Chains A and B, each alone.
Chain A
Amino acid sequence: MLGIFKIAYKLLVNDRAKFAALLVGITFAVFLMIQMTSLFSGVLSRSSATVINIGATMWVMDPAVQTVANSIPMPDYVLDEVRSIPGVKYAVPLYSGGALAKLRDGTYQFVTVMGLDDATLFGRPRLIDGNIQDIFAENGFIVIKDAEFAKLENPTIGTEFELNDHRVKIVGIGEVATSGLFGVPTLYTTYNRALQYLPNTRFTASYILVEPKTASDAAVIAGRVHAMGYLALTKDQFIDKIAAFYTFRTGLGTNILLMTVISFIVGLSISGQTFYTFIIENLEKFGALKAIGAKSRELVAMILFQAAFTALTGYGLGIGLCAVMIWLARLRIPDYAAVITFPNIGLAFAMVVIIAGISSYVGVRKVLTIEPFDIFRG
């Protein structure tokens, strides 16, 4: 049986031009599919960065909130009511907003400011330099060292700049798990200082972070919050809600889907078409093999082998190309959002299997219907 596959391999690979066209078709399709979907995955995970970094179990928010960055402030009584719900272990406010920093050279830089509950500092980042207690010192802010850090001129402890005409003093350098989508540096301070520095409405809390006593309390809390006219989501629900917003309410999801479908169709047509010509060109020879005594299932095995070999090679090249592209992009844009995830790779694999399946189905049908008698007759 091995010899048959060796013959199949040689028939395929020795036809340099067609083999190259097949590989280009599949590689291109896989590359585009993975590139598109991994960019999408990257964007989605970035869009929930705050939710992941803060790490609260439950989030209470205005029902109209669609993404974590666009919070809608809630009146103070909501915090008190949430605290009185049975099943709530503790609840703290979170401030999330944006401000303009005026750097020493006089340029302005937009920053995200997170205000942490003064009593607990719940959701604080891991510090790589400085002391967390210094956040209570005069003008104390912590800066996150991520890809956007340089936009604040690489501050160190003691660096000062202006924020909305207030003085800021960096007292700590922190790090977080996921960086954000918008390419903006992030500062942390206390809730009260955030309110003081940043303009706000009558209402103040962007989110209320809730820790239920037990996992089963989450549903009860959600129900009670709902009755108050607000929305309580678990961390995963909130991430899903944000993902759904970017996927369905912006052009992003549709465009990615469209690009994925187009790359699939292009890949399918290039590879399918080339494989078809390849089979047609060798059809008489396959018929001659039948006349000599090859069994149909052996010919089918040869064709499936050729399709599988091409598909897997193209798949590997496509993934490799994609990894190289992302690596190159990271050299220029350190915070380039694309991440290759297993679902991306799996989706591309499924599409490659479909491409190979359709291409070889056509070939197999042709080879099965060829009559050795017609070959014999010439």
Chain B
Amino acid sequence: MYPSAFGYYRAASVQEAVALLGEHPDAKLLAGGHSLIPAMKLRLATPSALVDLGSVAELRGIRQQGETIVIGAMTPHREIEYSTELAKTCPILPEAAAVIGDPLVRNRGTIGGSLAHADPAADFPACVLALGGTLTIQGTAGGRTVEAADFFQDMFATALQPGEVLTEIQVPARQPGVGMAYEKFAHPASRYAIVGVAAVVRMNRSVCEEARVAMTGATSKPTRLTKLEAALAGKPLDEATLKATCVNVVSPDGLLGDHTASATFRAHLTDVFAKRALQRAAERSTSR
């Protein structure tokens, strides 16, 4: 595994990272390196240089601002997995973090890297989409904010422009009556999602006021299951409803498929995992 030759720069701040990207147009940002380095070893990526964000302290950490949780792009999966704050304010993120790869991957990989890379089988993108998160981006022209729904554009393609750094992710803190869960069918080798479903439901007594359900793994980008969401609104999320609604949630046409799991199978798994995620999300909506 030998990458082609590349330069290496370590940025001390976001500003410096942006400046370095400006100087080296074919450079790439290095976060945890757990997607980028393997791609370089296979020569699928051949950046002229790496700009390492590892020393940019301002990009790391989890904090709450009023009703919003702010997570720095360089926060490793492991920190999210073990965050006692997030366990209360946004439990779907620790839950998803816990099923990413293995401990080594979780110690190095970052949420910013995961979202910026936009692997169609990654776990966080679906969660952030279901949560209705927003992403903050810095470039030479200054900062901007993008809705998760607009951020993910295609397989490995996002709203990030060359020279831009993803700095923060904002998600709403959990309100009373809101429940959330992430359910994943992991690839037996890579442990990436073959199908993952993130469900965030707002319940009033036992009736669903709003359901936001997003899938990953089988679509080229994280995708809201809008038909299912509509069918759930105003209903109790009991066994009968879920059984009736989590059927043919997506069509296999246009889904990803390979020798491990065909499009047909992934469509079926979407039904199963949508149901499982919704079931648990509904159960959790009653907890405080």
Whether chains A and B associate is no
Report B's interface with A, CB cutoff 8 A: none
